[in-house]
Amino acid sequence: MIIGIEAERANLEHKTGVEHYAKQLILHLAEIDKKNQYILYLRSKPQDWFLSLPRNFKVKVMPFPIFWTQARLSLEMLVHPPDVLFIPASALPLFHPKRSLVTIHDLAWKYYPETFGAFNRWFLDWSTGFAARKAETVIAVSEATKKDLVKFYGVKAGKVEVVYHGFDASVLKDEGDNLPQGLPEDYVLYLSTLQPRKNPQGLIDAFAQMKKADPELKHKLVIVGKLGWKYGEILQKIRENSGFVIYLNHIPDAQRNAVLKKAKLMVLPSFYEGFGMTILEAFAAGVPVATGNLSSMPEVAGAAAEYFNPLDTESIKKAMLKVLKNPDLAQSLIQAGKARLARFSWEKCARETLAAITSKP
């Protein structure tokens, strides 16, 4: 069988969760599948790791200025279609093989449309709806996302396969000497893109309340993440609270890992997550987690996190204080998190994805 994969996302230099997913899936498919032939479609020059893949993986670079998926990849599907096309992130080309699979990671724009630009919101809605209708199989990264697909796009539940993201703890290399300058000894960490849906503004407000309630608390709030949609008001709030907030912007992975490992608590205050990969990162780093009780977060974290209502700053404050003031609780969360990690591996993700790709003739 010839399996085509849209691999441009995996080729991006600065990767967020979706891009990491695409790369890890390709790497682990290469480990477990020596039988099928793969074509990896790229828009730009491949990174070095593509060139180290096994012989049954072929890279095809197809430069094109705009609308690469809908124009150039569509043309390729018309002229040289593979037996199966797999799209790791939502946007199925207009022309595609009958046997096409698409991974849909979240439907955040349905819940928080105001946090997206108008064109981006329209395109996400259109491309997801098109993929949900036309793909033979849809892969959702959580049961929460599957339910959203059924609710908003009328997808039949039997058409959607839930395949969780994996996690490889070896990526968290010990980079203790590579910490950014000015990092405090004790801090709570926010590790995500700066955009309203991720709720850094609510976390800052809750942290301010916590510092007011307990002035002796030495902890500061360290925020790590690149700028996303509608970040202006968030940056303003960071500046207004510079006495206890340190913003590091986007930092290299080695520094990011070092900052994570040194944190006393990792907080994910997001209103909505399709999966919530930073929860697993914190588990692997041995850092306790406090997270919202909405969408997929409880599904991923299980009993290994302290939960709060992300819409309520008082709830966020209480959850943070509970962990920071209770070393036994923090340690129990750390141990539960490490045990929870066993449920998530990239090999498992790759095997379940391959099964979805090859299960139908």
Residues 54 and 105 grouped into a single domain: yes
In tens, the pLDDT along 64-77 reads: 999 999 999 999 99
Q: Is the pLDDT of residue 361 over 70?
A: no
Question: What is the domain-level CATH number for residue 211?
Answer: 3.40.50.2000
Residues 233 and 323 grouped into a single domain: yes
Q: How far apart are CA 329 and CA 303, in angstroms?
A: 12
Residue 61 pLDDT: 97
Residues 298 and 157 grouped into a single domain: no
Do 2 and 83 contact (CB within 8 A), yes or no?
yes
Q: How far apart are CA 134 and CA 70, in angstroms?
A: 14
Q: Which residues pair with 100 in a beta bridge?
A: 85
Residues 93 and 224 grouped into a single domain: no
Question: What residue type is 120 in one-letter code?
Answer: N
Q: How far apart are CA 90 and CA 164, in angstroms?
A: 16
Residues 175 and 161 grouped into a single domain: no
In tens, the pLDDT along 273-307 reads: 989 889 999 999 999 999 999 999 999 999 999 99
Expressed as residue numbers, the domain containing 192 is 170-343
Percent of the chain at pLDDT > 90 equals: 78
CA 48 to each of CA 10, 13, 38, 194: distance values in angstroms, whole numbers, following the listed order? 12, 11, 17, 30
Do 103 and 90 contact (CB within 8 A), yes or no?
yes
Residues 21 and 162 grouped into a single domain: yes
Residue 256 pLDDT: 85
Q: Is the pLDDT of residue 174 over 60?
A: no
Residues 26 and 57 grouped into a single domain: yes
Percent of the chain at pLDDT > 70 equals: 97
- Residue 100, H or E segment: strand 100-104
Mean pLDDT of the chain: 92
> In total, how many domains does the chain have?
2
Residues 162 and 23 grouped into a single domain: yes
Smallest CA-to-CA distance from 308 within 292, 324, 289, 325 is with: 292
Residue 171 pLDDT: 67
Angle (CA) 229-230-232 rounded to 5° is: 130
Residue 68 pLDDT: 94
- What are the residues whose beta carbons fall under 8 Å from the beta carbon of 45, sequence distance 6 or more? 61
Residues 43 and 161 grouped into a single domain: yes
Q: Is the pLDDT of residue 351 over 60?
A: yes
Residues 116 and 189 grouped into a single domain: no
Query: Residue 216 has which token pair?
Result: 């002796």
Question: What residue type is 314 in one-letter code?
Answer: E
In tens, the pLDDT along 25-62 reads: 999 999 999 999 999 999 999 999 999 999 999 999 99
Residues 252 and 292 grouped into a single domain: yes
Residues 12 and 45 grouped into a single domain: yes
Rounded average pLDDT over 100-112: 93
The model's confidence at residue 175, banded by pLDDT at 50, 70 and 90, is low
Do 36 and 54 contact (CB within 8 A), yes or no?
no
Residue 181 pLDDT: 79
The model's confidence at residue 176, banded by pLDDT at 50, 70 and 90, is low
pTM: 0.86
Helix 200-213 and helix 232-240, axial crossing angle in degrees, nearest 10: 20
Judged by DSSP in three states, 41 sits in strand
Look at 139 and 14; give whichever has higher pLDDT: 139
